[in-house]
Amino acid sequence: MAGSVEKPLLAVISQGCSANFGDGEKIARLFEDDYRIVFGMSQLNDENRECETPAAFVLNVCTVKGNAGALKLLREAINSAPHAKLFITGCAPKDFREEASKISDKVLYTSLKDLHANYNTSLRGARATKQSTDTLRENPLIGIVNIEEGCLDACAYCSTRLVKGRLHSYPATDLVQQVKNLVEDGCVEIQLTGQDCGCYGFDFGSNLAELVQQILADVPGDYKLRLGMGNPRHMLQYLDGIIDCFKDERVYKFIHLPVQSGSNDVLYAMNRKHSVQDYIDLADAINRQFPLFTLSTDLIVGFPGESERDFQDTLDLLEKTRPTVCNITRFVARPNTPAYNIAGSVPDEIKHQRSATLAEAFQRIAAENNSRWIGEKETVTIEKPGYRKGTYIARNAAYRPVAIANKTPLKPGERFTVTITAAEPFALIGTIS
């Protein structure tokens, strides 16, 4: 008797950015007629699931901060299922493949594009159209919509562009329909994502603000949009338009603008095309409009040639723009990138010192930012259970995580009014009103 229980098990495991997770879900939908799908290693070990060895893995890897995390994932997959098929996709540049080959010679490298072309045509035929329904998701309440692939920059340290290439934006009409399908299927959060959402549409005369306004106009419903990362130089070109988008209550008051350094000299060496002032202007314009806005940024310490003065400039920028989310990375030279051969390497000891100093300053700023929420009444959406029994993580209008303790079980997707009673650097503490 045929049935889903007879299908072999496929584990799709994604790392890194939401764009990678969006691709992972698309890959899962390509295989769902022929496999039972689980997402992530944790689902393989779920206490509610009988122990079963996957027949295959799709490892959708991220190597932005180096190869170690992706190589560890490969080893874990091999150890858990030595005879399973191994497919690797995502950001897997040449140097990663060379290291991975020392672990296993049975890895098959592929891409979402190749899977669409080959798997659909060779194995599934007419059934391939089913994947467009977007019903298989890692989180049933969150819809990830990849709006573009690639970028218009050539940052000296970046290996992702070696894999993803130049900007390719997806048609707005297709994206609007995708969002509509997801909202109708019960999603309460839609994440618009890509390698650089800031330059979305530049290849056909549009931009991110125009896409968002089209979605808001054409997709009714009780949902929220979260905008993906955008490089400052692109966002500046339509700043007024993006601010107008944030005025709609269906758009999270959150933006990710990676500045990377507070020194113009270091930005120049990185081949970043924005200035420090560009980033300041963006942050100031948004914060003036929305005082409790969540500004997120990225900072790299220890880039070749970074002096103490350069690092102090980065600290000063942190104090001036006061982001509430900050991803701090110690520079790692990636083979085949221009930065790999730049002179003036910073010793690891100094990288660690600067990283620790930056993290300490950021956590103080984040705690101060979050303390401004104390006393506010907020409508929040439950996202997931917390680490401690009886606790839950919710999101408020600025995409801040809100920790809630409640004796009665709460379900993801439920909405409550809470009073913010305390704040930590990485979360708000709320009580259901």
Supply the DSSP string of 40-107, one letter for each residue: HHHHHT-TTS-----SEEEEEE--TT-SHHHHHHHHHHHHH-TTSEEEEEES--HHHHHHHHHH-S-E
What are the tens digits of pLDDT across the range 166-185? 999 999 999 999 999 999 99
What pLDDT shows up at residue 165? 86
Centre a 10 Å sphere on the Cβ of residue 315 and count the other Cβ atoms it contains: 16
| Average confidence (pLDDT) per 10 residues, the chain, 433 residues | 68 91 91 89 58 88 88 93 91 90 90 72 42 74 95 91 88 97 96 96 98 98 96 96 97 98 98 97 96 97 97 98 96 91 95 98 97 96 92 96 94 96 96 91
Place of tokens 């968002």: 212
pLDDT value of position 50: 56
By three-state DSSP, how is residue 347 classified? coil
What pLDDT, on the 0 to 100 scale, is given for residue 123?
A: 43
| Strand, coil or helix: 321 | helix
Name all contacts of 306-311 with Cβ < 8 Å and 24+ positions apart: 306/261, 306/263, 306/266, 306/346, 306/354, 309/263, 310/261, 310/262, 310/263, 310/265, 310/266, 311/263, 311/354
User: Token pair of 294, please?
Assistant: 């969540």
CA 385 to chain CA centroid, nearest Å: 20
Q: Token pair of 37, please? A: 């799908």
pLDDT at 73: 94
CA distance 190 to 179: 7
Residues 6+ apart with CB under 8 A from 81: 53, 54, 55, 57
